[in-house]
Structure 1
Amino acid sequence: MSTSSQTIMTPSLESRLESAARDLGFVAFGIADADAAPHTVKRLAQWLADGCHGDMIWMESRAEQRGSPKGLWPDVQSVISLGMSYAPTEDPMALAQHADIGRISVYAQGADYHDIVKKALKALARWMVTEIPDLQLKLFVDTAPVMEKPLAEAAGLGWQGKHSNLVSRDHGSWLFLGAIYVSVALKPSVAGRDRCGSCDACQRICPTNAFPAPYQVDARRCISYLTIEHDGPIPEELRQGIGNHIYGCDDCLSVCPWNKFAQSAHRHRAFLPRAELSAPELGDILPLDDPSFRQIFAGSPIKRIGRNRMVRNAAIAAGNSGNNSYIPILTQLCGDESAMVADAATWALAQLRRR
């Protein structure tokens, strides 16, 4: 009686690595060669030369390291790119019609993504060290000169859309990105392919015209930059366009047609929105002092911008609201110790009185 032998296929290191990543909460996974995005260097240099980075001086000071993985770490052979979903349940654009509500970007309504993603990256790194002898690695989540989006595209997680953010066929624009640089060569994934086509919805929706051309963003006009990174008075010609945004902006992401495939069920539970951050009233934000600001926004990425920027943003939103009930608190803020808060409050008062 003859017996037939059956070959047992051992899963590859790459497939086991992906399985481990998904067990840790990552919904997107891919691998790219360290030199898979050479166009990044030229694009970054031109963007910086045009001054589109605004006050983000760190983008310029570490441009050589940011331009390519080997510029940051010469020993890197492969880049593991990972994405964690924060897909919202509600349409972020719905609050645009509620002038007395401050709009906070979806990514900042839950726990600080730096902490959540980094914890998962460290756990995955520990798994890799036990699997690959003599492995060296470095992990990053928005805290080092790493071009996460071009690398994620090269690793097949999606493509950089016309708004410059990553777009995934499965998760839309709602992905937190992390990266692990490793000192071994892994089998690369198939790179992402641009699927924007003729759509320009993200370009047309921008209230401050921050896109000089498709695939280009001028941070100096971007609401996310102005309300988060910019420390000083916001240019007056851009203030009406800010509307009721008080921290970041999701407009160009929200209108992307690919978001219809993004399911909030895939969202990591840590990013469920906190009630006080999903739809805060301007009247609750404007009177904040520093201790109360820190208390409310503890554990949130919002905390890093500080009380002054947040109240500045809320004052501008109040000026755009048309609601005269803000006049007393704005009058008080005109004498605020922070010059940029006082400036925003003075402008807002003028807007309300004019109306």
Structure 2
Amino acid sequence: MGISLSVAAESWPIAGSFTISRGSRTEARVVVATLHLNGATGRGECVPYPRYGESVEGVVALIEAQAAWLASQPSARQARLGLLDRLKPGAARNALDCALWDLEAKQANIPVWQLAGLSAPADAVTAYTLSLGTPDSMREAAQKAAHRPLLKVKLGGAGDPERIAAVREGAPDSSLIVDANEAWTDDLLEPCLAACRAAGVELIEQPLPAGKDDALTGLDAGILLCADESVHDRSTLDALATRYQAINIKLDKTGGLTEAIAMADAADARGLKLMIGCMVGTSLAMAPALLLAGKAQYVDLDGPLLLAKDRDPGLSFSGSRISPALAALWG
């Protein structure tokens, strides 16, 4: 008997709402894959993302379609390696890949970080995200979060210089990174960059739309430019070198921890700095990504902090500091 599979779609309320340039939402819709083999259980969570043509229903169906193949697999490791050829990078592969890592660890009674040849996980400081809003509302949000060491500011295009200035006014001592989510245009680029420089912003994620970012080629912005929507797996790295100095690795884009580890090493070999990021999900989605925090200059795994309620057990947060996951959660 091989690996058995069950799949569940879940909704987790967000505390208030979460707004970026593409819209607002009040819940995180996630998909959880649960695998069983010889009395051991492994779980993995993914967050389907419409920007990449994904839906909860489509991802559930894609995962369920792997049930017969998984039942033919004699081990979690063999299935995990075979999965890279069966599914393209994306949310469905992420849930299964992480569940297979968890299953292998539970069977071997060895933590995932050791199985993967990674350094022992340690506490990490995560960015805390401020949703897109008016300058006044973002100043108020920044004031409430001003005790946090690193804030990530969601931007939306026109009016962003005023938003950036307002956030800096509200949180004068926090380090700032910003995420435009593809919302800037070539005309907005320089005034927005100038505002970021004036506010002491350290990093800008995806200022221009993926595939329409030629204006970044050879640009000396004076701030790290970080690819997000433009980068998915290792095959997309080489095209970025002249436009970006950093990349945001998200497991829902890479299709799991297996590819994310390889991608982190490949990025480092190219001199690219790393951010380890996330979609808005529960601690089950953050735990695998947290294993890569030691390789990253920036960690953005605040998904559970944005929820009204997290899993139990979940990750332990002390302010913006995250502790490694307990085995009861994952890994």
Normalised-by-shorter TM-score class: under 0.3
Say which structure is richer in helix. 1
- Whichever of the two has the greater Rg, that structure is 1
TM-score (norm 2): 0.25
Normalised by the size of structure 1, how large is the TM-score? 0.24
